[in-house]
């Protein structure tokens, strides 16, 4: 089946959904808690762990409060979309499957120069790392491709292959657009700017000027305490610990930290300690999740 | 003789690891084969983006059969000895034969086929390969740098049966990812392999890839009356990123040419792996770039050039943003920021470090011909650019940007140069700072580093030198020696307290060794506790020259003889103190006394004038009397007064020579 090449931002997403759906992925919707990267969706961070196979693809809004530019920079956004694919165990032909997805969205490998350039991925806030590449198309990074080796300090076994496409950047490239706000959102004349420009303006002002540091700090500490409490006292109907709600609270803590950071409220020396605190919470959840997965298997 | 061909085909290997991987593959296979007694006529390894390959020429088809006679214990030896021999050789007692009262055994074994040995060796090599970082994939346990997909292994045109961890060796390989059929092909020997690869758009040999890139790039540039800015490290890297390298010349927006050329080149190299291009007439950067693609595109590379140009524009726009913002920001704001940046947990903030360097630069200025106030000022702004956005993005531009920003700020050119130069020399091939201001700050920077890390006991050990202290010490040595600076190092605050001199002595030895000079003499000269490197080296050189003369060599022998006698006599009791007296008989004793008396003032005058050649010439006058003394005079006389006087004379010889160097530490 040769589908027509996408001509809009949402067409691009639908093409990727179709492509990965045909390859056996569960097509999920975004996780409804603010996260800084698609990796943090429980469908990646938690499902990467444990013995069970799992294939999923989804779009996840990434919130990067510090990257906001009040809608004035053509490339930078504090809210943008990542397309995330997780294949566990990674299939032997995963590179070919990935290259097929580029063809599907209209990148002709006979005209373009596609390269796999070493880039080892690491996310210290969730104690995760893997080896892989940045994938370049004519010198531009279009995806991150990682064989995840550890999450939450635990071995990912079997190994999960993770693909992250930066959707706006990819769309700008495929559609030859220089300003993100000029991207065609659909095929009926709606632009990305009409959908998101106002959001960038307001959220930038909030993140940089209005967010109340004292409140954020207090909420961060609340979340931190809740993670520990939920894991300690919570019991599910099958007697299990409540790792999923606990993990949501880790994500909330992580986002609160990002806003505080954008507000300039965190000194260099404090930064590492905050990241360490989030990592510790994440490890608690990861090891509990792993236990449940192993018991189930 | 039969040939072995091995290919380990994987997903993309990081470019920076390929060359070493090729060497490791060759070494491990060579060691393994020769440990099995299989000696080849030659081997060659190739490393590229998706494969490591090895061809071994002229291997025997099997190990030689072995038939050895093994000598055991003598007949009648204890049982333990005989049992031990049997255990070691795998023989049984009835296989032993007696011969001349000794047990002998024969060990015979049939040589194993090479194929078997290769199969084991390939598996062991893959399992133990020393990748800097490795990973597992899928459900397997095997580790490789990225997923290992295929093994081709043929010996004497036959597939070597290798199977482990779900991999099975065959005679299949595959070509370029995008060009040609993309399918697999068979190869049973190296010629077939190489030819098939070329037909499938893969250049196997990294040297050939580099050659193609260089030639192609030069031709493209020449046709447009341009010149490639060559870059060896970048060439190595891009040759590791393409199996079928195709240089493509692209255009850069000329508006970016007002950025400093270092910024353009660094942005091109670090982010995009492009070569810069210059105008041969002016030598200045031209508004173009050269990218090495991994594909000969159907449109001749137009799309690739246009796409890369767009990415470069975005990169250079970022750089321009940094350049503009940085020039608005300025040195005071950066210095404020530096007080919030930790240099080292135990050594305070960057701002505190800058203050120490400034104080030290002020202190050193006069000795290097710089104005102390200016040196202090230069040091105060030397590290400011670390807080700039540009250096945050491109750390390797530290100093370079500081210089540009200082000039843009209307600062003095000598001060601006000092900012750039104070990091020099950064390696053995880098120059030392030229101007006195740069020299003062460079010395202060390095000495502060050394004193600081020594004071918190972070000294280099073995190959561990995380703070590059050896490089800092070598930098100090090179600046002092190449500029002939008379700087007593112990007068630098902290150097004596942290006993840094022995560390400098070690580095000085390395410097002299690298220059092909004799370096064992450094210890002999350092023992005099001098801290003036220029004087130390002058002394070492004069001493070296002297010891090469016949007088010098003989005098050294005399010195050692004297030292041995004194050491032996000292064991019997304390050596006699005081000056010797003059005696007429024996004449040789009198002559040595006279020579020593004459030597004293001459030697002192020469040393005072730092004329070490004259000092050595003066010492040479001792050689004949010392030789004659040892030949004719018995030191250990029965007459105590005679013995005492002679021992006093020898101590004087030792003392006189000791003013020049500690000859007891001369080893050569």
Distance CA B494, CA B497 (A): 5
Residues B303 and B343 in one domain: no
> Among all chains, which residue has been given the structure tokens 């214990």?
B73
* Cβ contact, residue pair B136, A157, below 8 Å: yes
Distance CA B316, CA B261 (A): 11
Judged by a CB distance cut-off of 8 A, whether residue B236 touches chain A is no
Residue in A closest to B293 by C-alpha: A113
H or E element, residue A147 = strand A140-151
Q: Are strands A114-118 and A54-63 parallel, antiparallel or unpaired?
A: unpaired
The pLDDT tens digits of the residues spanning B600-632 come to: 899 999 999 999 999 988 888 888 888 888 888
Domain boundary among the residues B305, B329, B353 is at B329
Q: Are A138 and A113 in contact (CB under 8 A)?
A: yes
| Mean pLDDT in residue range A105-116 | 93
Distance from CA of A155 to the nearest CA of B (A): 10
SS (H, E, C) B46-115: EECCCEEEEEEECCCCECCCEEEEEEEEECCCCHHHHHHHHHHHCCCHHHCEEECCEEEEEEEECCCEHH
For residue B17, what are the domain limits? 3-62+114-199
Q: Judge if the upstream peptide bond of residue B625 is cis by omega within 30 degrees of 0.
A: no
Q: Residue A111: list chain B partners with CB under 8 A.
A: 297-299, 303-304
Judged by a CB distance cut-off of 8 A, whether residue B325 touches chain A is no
Q: Is residue B439 part of a domain?
A: yes
Residues B590 and B616 in one domain: yes
DSSP string, B631-647: HH--SS-SSHHHHHHHH
Q: Count up the domains in chain B and report the number.
A: 5
Of A89, A84, A85, A20, nearest to A54 (Cα)? A89
Q: How many helices (H) and strands (E) does chain A have?
A: 8, 8
* Cβ contact, residue pair B314, A149, below 8 Å: no
Residue in B closest to A117 by C-alpha: B14
Q: Is residue B651 part of a domain?
A: yes
Q: Give me the CATH number covering residue B100.
A: 3.30.70
Distance CA B415, CA A89 (A): 59
The pLDDT tens digits of the residues spanning B255-306 come to: 999 999 999 999 999 999 999 999 999 999 999 999 999 999 989 999 999 9
Of B274, B299, B311, which is closest to A140 when you measure between CB atoms? B311
- Indicate if the pLDDT at residue B182 is higher than 80: no
Q: Is residue B543 part of a domain?
A: no
Give the tokens for residue A66.
């510090």
Residues B123 and B99 in one domain: no
pLDDT band at B586 (very low <50, low <70, confident <90, very high): confident
pLDDT at A3: 60
Distance CA B407, CA B327 (A): 10
Q: Give me the CATH number covering residue B451.
A: 1.10.3210
Mean pLDDT of all residues belonging to chain B: 92
Backbone angles phi, psi at B353, to 5 degrees: -65, -45
pTM of the model: 0.81
Question: Between vectors from CA A278 to CA A274 and to CA A282, what angle results, nearest 5°?
Answer: 165
Give the tokens for residue B342.
């930790």
Of B621, B606, B623, nearest to B660 (Cα)? B606
Q: Please count the residues of chain B.
A: 668
Distance CA B578, CA A124 (A): 73
| Mean pLDDT in residue range A173-182 | 92
Distance from CA of A176 to the nearest CA of B (A): 9
Q: Is residue B47 part of a domain?
A: yes
* Cβ contact, residue pair B340, A267, below 8 Å: yes
* Beta-carbon-side half-sphere exposure of residue A219 (alpha carbons within 13 Å): 18
Residues B211 and B130 in one domain: no
- Indicate if the pLDDT at residue A269 is higher than 80: no
Q: Is residue B541 part of a domain?
A: no
Of B8, B66, B69, nearest to B37 (Cα)? B66
Residues B291 and B227 in one domain: yes
pLDDT band at A296 (very low <50, low <70, confident <90, very high): confident
Q: Is residue B26 part of a domain?
A: yes
* Cβ contact, residue pair A131, B297, below 8 Å: no
Residues B582 and B630 in one domain: yes
ipTM comes to 0.93
Question: Between A and B, how many CB-CB pairs are < 8 A?
Answer: 104
In the stretch 57-116 of chain A, residues with CB closer than 8 A to chain B read 75, 89-92, 95, 99, 109-116
Distance from CA of B248 to the nearest CA of A (A): 11
| Mean pLDDT in residue range B103-132 | 94
Residues B486 and B579 in one domain: no
- Indicate if the pLDDT at residue A58 is higher than 60: yes
Judged by a CB distance cut-off of 8 A, whether residue A174 touches chain B is no
Judged by a CB distance cut-off of 8 A, whether residue B348 touches chain A is no
Q: Are B242 and B178 in contact (CB under 8 A)?
A: no
Residues B232 and B93 in one domain: no
Residues B368 and B510 in one domain: yes
Judged by a CB distance cut-off of 8 A, whether residue B100 touches chain A is no
Q: Give me the CATH number covering residue B606.
A: 1.10.730
| Mean pLDDT in residue range B620-645 | 86
Is B476 buried (19+), middle (13-18) or exposed (0-12) by CB count in 10 A?
Answer: buried
pLDDT band at A167 (very low <50, low <70, confident <90, very high): very high
Residues B360 and B287 in one domain: no
Domain boundary among the residues B145, B167, B199 is at B199
Residues B265 and B369 in one domain: no
- Indicate if the pLDDT at residue B78 is higher than 50: yes
Select the residue from B134, B139, B300 to test the A interface by mutation, using most A Cβ atoms within 10 A.
B139
Of B266, B275, B208, B276, nearest to B239 (Cα)? B208
Distance CA B17, CA B10 (A): 13
Distance from CA of B306 to the nearest CA of A (A): 8
Residue B33 vs residues B27, B38, B84, B113, B454: alpha-carbon distances, Å: 10, 5, 30, 12, 47
| Mean pLDDT in residue range B397-415 | 96
Domain boundary among the residues B329, B354, B386 is at B329
Question: Between vectors from CA B554 to CA B553 and to CA B559, what angle results, nearest 5°?
Answer: 100
Judged by a CB distance cut-off of 8 A, whether residue B321 touches chain A is no
Q: Is residue B544 part of a domain?
A: no
Distance from CA of B458 to the nearest CA of A (A): 22
List the beta bridge partners of residue A116: A135
- Indicate if the pLDDT at residue B79 is higher than 90: no
Of B137, B178, B298, which is closest to A159 when you measure between CB atoms? B137
- Indicate if the pLDDT at residue B640 is higher than 90: no
In the stretch 256-295 of chain B, residues with CB closer than 8 A to chain A read 272, 274, 291, 293-295
Of A92, A113, A140, which is closest to B295 when you measure between CB atoms? A113
* Cβ contact, residue pair A111, B147, below 8 Å: no
pLDDT at A1: 42
Q: Are A136 and A172 in contact (CB under 8 A)?
A: no
Judged by a CB distance cut-off of 8 A, whether residue B139 touches chain A is yes
For residues A37-75, one letter each, b for 16 or more C-beta atoms within 10 angstroms of the residue's C-beta and e for the rest, the string is bbbbbbbbbbbbbbeeebbbbbbbebbbbebbeebeebb
Judged by a CB distance cut-off of 8 A, whether residue A267 touches chain B is yes
Cα B593 from chain centre: 51
Q: How many helices (H) and strands (E) does chain B have?
A: 24, 18
Distance CA B291, CA B244 (A): 13
- Indicate if the pLDDT at residue B96 is higher than 70: yes
Residues B144 and B37 in one domain: yes
Of A91, A139, A173, which is closest to B291 when you measure between CB atoms? A139
Lowest mean pLDDT of A56-60, A128-132, B524-528, name the range.
Answer: B524-528
Of B473, B484, B421, B428, nearest to B446 (Cα)? B473
* Beta-carbon-side half-sphere exposure of residue B559 (alpha carbons within 13 Å): 23
Q: Is residue B454 part of a domain?
A: yes
Select the residue from B21, B135, B274 to test the A interface by mutation, using most A Cβ atoms within 10 A.
B135
pLDDT band at B668 (very low <50, low <70, confident <90, very high): low
Distance CA B660, CA B208 (A): 57
Q: Residue A115: list chain B partners with CB under 8 A.
A: 241-242, 294
pLDDT at A175: 93
Q: Residue B293: list chain A partners with CB under 8 A.
A: 113
């Amino acid at each position: 089946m040769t589908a027509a090449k996408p001509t809009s931002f949402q067409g691009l997403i639908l093409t990727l959904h179709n492509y990965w759906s045909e390859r056996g992925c569960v097509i999920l919707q975004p996780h409804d808690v603010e996260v800084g990267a698609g990796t943090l969706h429980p469908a990646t961070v938690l499902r990467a762990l444990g013995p069970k196979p799992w294939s999923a693809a989804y779009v996840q809004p990434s919130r990067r409060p510090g990257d906001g530019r009040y809608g004035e920079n053509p490339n930078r956004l504090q809210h943008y979309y990542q397309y995330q694919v997780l294949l566990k165990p990674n299939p032997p032909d995963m590179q070919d499957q990935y290259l097929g997805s580029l063809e599907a969205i209209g990148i002709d490998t006979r005209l373009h120069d596609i390269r796999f350039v070493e880039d080892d991925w690491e996310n210290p806030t969730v104690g995760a790392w893997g080896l892989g590449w940045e994938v370049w198309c004519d010198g531009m990074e279009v995806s991150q491709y990682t064989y995840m080796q550890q999450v939450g300090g635990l071995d990912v076994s079997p190994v999960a292959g993770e693909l992250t496409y930066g959707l706006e950047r990819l769309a700008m490239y495929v559609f030859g657009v220089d300003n993100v706000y000029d991207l065609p959102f659909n095929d009926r004349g709606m632009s990305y700017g009409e959908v998101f420009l106002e959001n960038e303006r307001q959220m930038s002002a909030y993140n940089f000027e209005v967010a109340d540091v004292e409140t954020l700090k207090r909420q961060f500490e609340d979340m931190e305490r809740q993670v520990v409490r939920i894991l300690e006292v919570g019991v599910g109907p099958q007697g299990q610990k409540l790792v999923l709600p606990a993990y949501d609270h880790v994500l909330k803590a992580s986002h609160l930290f990002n806003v505080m950071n954008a507000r300039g409220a965190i000194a260099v020396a404090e930064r590492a300690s905050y990241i360490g605190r989030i990592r510790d919470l994440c490890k608690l959840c990861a090891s509990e999740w792993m236990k449940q997965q192993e018991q189930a298997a | 003789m039969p040939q072995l061909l091995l290919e380990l085909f994987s997903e993309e290997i990081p470019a920076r690891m390929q060359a070493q991987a090729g060497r490791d593959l060759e070494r491990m296979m060579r060691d393994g084969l020769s440990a099995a007694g299989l000696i080849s006529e030659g081997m060659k390894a190739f490393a590229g983006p998706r494969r490591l390959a090895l061809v071994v020429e002229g291997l025997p088809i099997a190990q030689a059969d072995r038939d050895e006679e093994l000598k055991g214990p003598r007949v009648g030896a204890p049982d333990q000895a005989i049992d031990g021999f049997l255990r070691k050789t795998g023989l049984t007692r009835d296989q032993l034969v007696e011969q001349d009262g000794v047990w002998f055994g024969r060990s015979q074994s049939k040589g194993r086929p090479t194929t078997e040995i290769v199969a084991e060796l390939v598996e062991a090599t893959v399992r133990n390969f020393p990748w800097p970082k490795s990973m597992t994939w899928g459900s397997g346990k095997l580790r490789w740098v990225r997923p290992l997909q295929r093994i081709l292994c043929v010996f004497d045109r036959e597939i070597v049966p290798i199977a482990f961890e779900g991999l099975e060796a065959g005679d299949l390989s595959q070509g370029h990812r995008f060009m040609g059929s993309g399918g697999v092909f068979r190869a049973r020997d190296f010629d077939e392999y190489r030819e098939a690869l070329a037909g499938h758009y893969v250049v196997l040999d990294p040297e050939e890839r580099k050659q193609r890139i260089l030639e192609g790039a030069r031709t493209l540039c020449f046709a447009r009356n341009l010149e490639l800015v060559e870059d060896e490290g970048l060439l190595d890297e891009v040759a590791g990123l393409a199996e079928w390298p195709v240089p493509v010349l692209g255009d850069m927006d000329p508006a970016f040419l007002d950025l400093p050329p270092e910024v353009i080149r660094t942005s091109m190299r670090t982010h995009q792996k492009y070569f810069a291009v210059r105008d041969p007439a002016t030598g200045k950067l031209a508004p173009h770039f050269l990218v090495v693609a991994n594909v000969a595109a159907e449109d001749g590379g137009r799309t690739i050039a246009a796409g890369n140009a767009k990415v470069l524009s975005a990169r250079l726009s970022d750089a321009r943003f940094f350049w503009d913002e940085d020039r608005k920001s300025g040195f005071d704001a950066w210095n404020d920021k530096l007080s919030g940046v930790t240099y080292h947990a135990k050594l305070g903030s960057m701002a505190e470090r800058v203050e120490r360097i400034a104080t030290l630069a002020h202190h050193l200025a006069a000795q290097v011909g710089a104005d102390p106030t200016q040196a202090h000022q230069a040091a105060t702004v030397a590290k400011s650019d670390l807080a700039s956005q540009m250096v945050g993005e491109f750390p390797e531009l530290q100093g370079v940007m500081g210089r540009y920003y200082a000039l843009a700020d209307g600062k003095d050119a000598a001060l601006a140069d000092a900012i750039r130069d104070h990091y020099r020399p950064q390696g053995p091939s880098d120059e030392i700072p030229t101007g006195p201001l740069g020299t003062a700050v460079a010395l202060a920077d390095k000495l502060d580093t050394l004193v600081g890390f020594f004071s918190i006991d972070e000294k280099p050990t073995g190959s561990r030198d995380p703070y590059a202290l050896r490089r800092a010490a070598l930098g100090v040595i090179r600046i002092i020696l190449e500029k002939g600076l008379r700087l007593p190092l112990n007068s630098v605050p902290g150097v004596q307290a942290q006993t840094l001199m022995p560390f400098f002595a070690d580095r000085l030895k390395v410097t002299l060794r690298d220059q092909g000079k004799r370096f064992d003499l450094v210890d002999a000269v350092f023992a005099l506790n001098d801290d003036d490197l220029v004087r130390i080296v002058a002394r070492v050189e004069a001493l070296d020259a002297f010891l090469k003369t016949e007088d010098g060599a003989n005098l050294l022998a005399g010195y050692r003889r004297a030292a041995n006698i004194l050491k032996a006599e000292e064991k019997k009791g304390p050596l006699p103190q005081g000056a010797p007296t003059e005696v007429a008989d024996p004449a040789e004793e009198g002559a040595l006394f006279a020579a020593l008396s004459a030597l004293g003032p001459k030697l002192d005058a020469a040393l005072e004038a730092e004329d070490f050649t004259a000092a050595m010439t003066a010492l040479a006058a001792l050689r004949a009397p010392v030789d004659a003394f040892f030949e004719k005079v018995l030191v250990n006389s029965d007459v105590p007064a005679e013995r005492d006087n002679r021992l006093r004379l020898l101590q004087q010889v030792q003392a006189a020579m000791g003013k020049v160097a500690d000859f007891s530490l001369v080893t050569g």
